[in-house]
Structure 1
Amino acid sequence: MSDRLKIGITCYPSLGGSGVVATELGKLLAEKGHEVHFITHSVPFRLGKFHKNIYYHEVEVSNYYVFKYPPYDLALASKLAQVAKMEQLDLLHVHYAIPHAVCAYLAKEMVGSHLKVVTTLHGTDITVLGQDESMSDIIRLALEKSDAVTAVSQDLIHETRQAIETDVRIDLAYNFVDKRVYYPRDVTNLRREYARPDEKLLIHISNFRPVKRIGDVIDIFAEVNKKVKSRLMFVGEGPELSKMICKVKELGLTERVLFCGKQDDVAQIISLADVMLLPSEKESFGLVALEAMACGVPTIGSNAGGIPELITHGETGYLADIGDTQTMAEHAIRLLSDPGLYEAMSKACLDRARTKFCNDLITIQYEEIYYRVLGRPMPMYNVDELCKA
């Protein structure tokens, strides 16, 4: 490939949607012939098997006795610079402002201005850290020293401008899922292990943090279960888990609720379900709702953050105000009780996931940004044909 780029990618490799998106993007770029170097403290959990054009470089942190805490930030900056020099990287694409964008800026200072830095904001680097006055100045520096900045929703762009008070250009690049992985699976036999034929299956997937409002998930299900024979499946682990197990027991729903822990084959698990519940207090995007959409499963969630940019109310799911579990339950009951409505909404989910959030489309958007900051012409692609494939 004559237009091949050499790209370094840094992300949190072991948790969160940002690491998933960063890893999947790297794999897609490698498939297109680009040379991709992951520079992280451990192998990204979604990287999996050997991939052509993908390389991994481990960040090792010194335990020198004078350090109270291991200096991961400095070790990462040094490793980024080392790999950039050794592999003659064209650019670094770092996911999360803190510490990755700051480290990339330091690496660029060590290597030279020919090395470009693209920073992608995913959420809590702005919505949490950006609210901390002790962090806002260094986040602003990192963004303004980046050659390009992207964010995963318009809502996050708005929050960044409010929290960081910067006029730096921020490109919108939505999250995506690989349509070859996320599609409706035939799980007829497996579903029998979780629900009877006359029962509906609702699902929630998260890290069980308070912001996910797991208690609301249970309250929604309790109302749905009064009108529609159903079961609730929880996937994931986190700080709220034990408290929610107690709540399920108190409501007498233990036999109706399944706690499945962490699961690797998310597309398979989602395909079991009829509805995804996502009543979060805050979501910069809501990747799990897109994963559900790509499997033909509608989401019922909160009108918060970037979720309304993903879910079209009344077409691919339903939205309600944060904490309005009664309305969310009513939407779920209506949807699960009307086969014609459900079929139409499921089809709309597939259409939207395969067009608006097509993995080929989003990958090209990132490529356009790369070539722009490098001052090189962008190869031509037929986007419509790619997204139909």
Structure 2
Amino acid sequence: MRPRICFVLPSLNGGGAERAAVHVLNALDASRWNRSMYLFERRGPYLEDLDPTIALDAGRRGSRIQRWNALRKYLRAQRPDVVVSFLSYFTVLTAARAARVRSRIVFNQQTPMSAFLRDADYQWRRPWHRRAFSVVTKLGYRLADAIVTSSVGVADDLVKQFGVARERIRVVHNPVNLDAVERSSREVLDPQFAGMWIHPVVVAAGRLADAKNYPLLIDAIVRLRARVPARLFILGDGELEPELRRQIAERGLDQAVVLCGFQKNPWKFIARADVFVLTSRYEGFGNVLIEAMACGVPVVATTSAGTREIVTVGIDGLLVDRHQPEAVAAALERVLVDEPFRARLSSAARDSARRFALPAVAAAYDRVFGAVLA
């Protein structure tokens, strides 16, 4: 009998963890695994990407206790052999224990937890809430059967800041579906954007949130445009959109910076860019970088735990150690004005992306899950 494996997430909203979960679960060998997914809420743009042969169940909107209880009942009824939590780790762990099932619990950690605890996007009502969450998190890590991190940097953070034993962690980078990216990148741009697509073009993508540090990027574009007439297209939505629109207007960039909203197919934009840029305060991995590289587009990114493991400086992109507008502008300028350099980066980027091809990553996950059951 095939072992039953269930991925648990809050929803399939448009984030890197959600996309990675769908890619990996789709790619797991259905002849070896009985695959399922449970969502606290059935919503998000990646629902339609889930393989229809995967059993999908979801709870209903409600309080945290109600969501926890719905998951507990689901786990008791389905009794999966392996439960993989991409988020809401302690909720999943305690629900499984309360359900009195013998499921192996695997945490998938996508971002450095210490950075998450400092993240301005998450509203901690009182300082002790943050401290309590940290204590509970440390306990959860000790009780999990295995922990998978998206990068060595995320693993290092767990070891140094949360006392997790190194031998309990497996590093598996997030995958890129090269065939899907190639196919999607050939789609035509919507007319509303095609008319504004005047080179040189810089593209950025990601949630409009504090962690992505778009104010830094916009200030960098101000400095860049003093030397290069570049346009910036930002793909994504989020709570900071009004603030970013104000900043764009104040900097006089209304005709130079375009907020495109969430795009189900970002690759048709990225593939037409001269350079892709990511100015995050931190990244556990940086899925969008390997997707840009798969499109053959050079990348410029601020240095963080995850981006160091993706970008080979001067070969397929550039990393900016100083998270300052002039430093980002200088890196973008170098790629945009030096055409031979940009061509070399572009050629190498495609080769670099193959390191993260979906079949190899799925095989690595298969080995992790098999070891947990051994």
State if a TM-score over 0.5 links the two structures: yes
Give the C-alpha shift of residue 124 in structure 1. 5.9
Contact 2:75 2:101 in 1 (8 A): no
Partner of 1:362: 361
- The answer to whether residue 93 in structure 2 is matched with residue 104 in structure 1 is yes
Partner of 1:204: 204
Partner of 2:295: 295
Q: Deviation string for 1:208-229 (max 9, x for gaps)?
A: 2122211111122222222223
Partner of 1:92: 83
Give the C-alpha shift of residue 142 in structure 1. 2.0
| Structure 1 range deviating more: 337-346 or 123-132 | 123-132
SS in 2 for 1:202: strand
| Structure 1 range deviating more: 186-195 or 34-43 | 186-195
- The answer to whether residue 183 in structure 2 is matched with residue 195 in structure 1 is no
Give the C-alpha shift of residue 101 in structure 1. 4.6
Give the C-alpha shift of residue 129 in structure 1. 4.1
Q: TM-score scaled by structure 2?
A: 0.87
What is the aligned counterpart of 2:150 among 146, 152, 165? Answer: 152
| Structure 1 range deviating more: 126-135 or 201-210 | 126-135
Partner of 1:277: 277
1:225 alignment partner AA: R
Q: TM-score scaled by structure 1?
A: 0.84
Give the C-alpha shift of residue 292 in structure 1. 1.1
Partner of 1:228: 228
Give the C-alpha shift of residue 16 in structure 1. 2.1
Give the C-alpha shift of residue 257 in structure 1. 1.4
Relative to 1, partners in 2 of residues 1:143 and 1:286: Cα closer, same or farther, differing over 3 Å? Answer: same
User: Whole-Å Cα distance in 2 between the matches of residues 265 and 121 of structure 1?
Assistant: 25
Give the C-alpha shift of residue 136 in structure 1. 2.4
User: Whole-Å Cα distance in 1 between the matches of residues 109 and 329 of structure 2?
Assistant: 32
Relative to 1, partners in 2 of residues 1:139 and 1:130: Cα closer, same or farther, differing over 3 Å? Answer: farther
Partner of 1:123: 111
User: Whole-Å Cα distance in 1 between the matches of residues 286 and 200 of structure 2?
Assistant: 23
Partner of 1:214: 214
User: Whole-Å Cα distance in 1 between the matches of residues 14 and 76 of structure 2?
Assistant: 25
Contact 1:285 1:305 in 2 (8 A): yes
Relative to 1, partners in 2 of residues 1:265 and 1:111: Cα closer, same or farther, differing over 3 Å? Answer: same
Contact 1:298 1:317 in 2 (8 A): yes
User: Whole-Å Cα distance in 2 between the matches of residues 250 and 32 of structure 1?
Assistant: 57
SS in 2 for 1:228: coil
Partner of 2:313: 313
What is the aligned counterpart of 2:162 among 164, 176, 199? Answer: 164
User: Whole-Å Cα distance in 1 between the matches of residues 334 and 22 of structure 2?
Assistant: 38
Unaligned runs of 5+ in 2: 120-129
User: Whole-Å Cα distance in 2 between the matches of residues 319 and 50 of structure 1?
Assistant: 34
Q: Deviation string for 1:135-175 (max 9, x for gaps)?
A: 22322222222221111111111111233223261110111
Contact 1:127 1:159 in 2 (8 A): no
Unaligned runs of 5+ in 1: 64-68, 376-389
Higher relative contact order (CA 8 A, sep 6+): 2
- The answer to whether residue 68 in structure 2 is matched with residue 73 in structure 1 is yes
Partner of 1:381: none
Relative to 1, partners in 2 of residues 1:374 and 1:234: Cα closer, same or farther, differing over 3 Å? Answer: same
Contact 1:9 1:94 in 2 (8 A): yes
Give the C-alpha shift of residue 104 in structure 1. 3.3
User: Whole-Å Cα distance in 1 between the matches of residues 15 and 30 of structure 2?
Assistant: 23
User: Whole-Å Cα distance in 1 between the matches of residues 264 and 32 of structure 2?
Assistant: 27
| Structure 1 range deviating more: 42-51 or 297-306 | 42-51
Give the C-alpha shift of residue 188 in structure 1. 7.2
Give the C-alpha shift of residue 22 in structure 1. 0.8
Q: Deviation string for 1:304-323 (max 9, x for gaps)?
A: 22111111111111111242
2:368 alignment partner AA: I
Contact 2:149 2:155 in 1 (8 A): yes
Query: Within 5 A, what are the aligned runs for 1:21-60?
Result: 21-29=20-28, 34-43=33-42, 45-48=45-48, 51-60=51-60
1:351 alignment partner AA: D
- The answer to whether residue 124 in structure 2 is matched with residue 135 in structure 1 is no
Give the C-alpha shift of residue 45 in structure 1. 3.1
SS in 2 for 1:263: coil
Relative to 1, partners in 2 of residues 1:83 and 1:61: Cα closer, same or farther, differing over 3 Å? Answer: farther
| Structure 1 range deviating more: 316-325 or 344-353 | 316-325
User: Whole-Å Cα distance in 2 between the matches of residues 74 and 158 of structure 1?
Assistant: 33
Partner of 1:385: none
Contact 1:11 1:100 in 2 (8 A): no
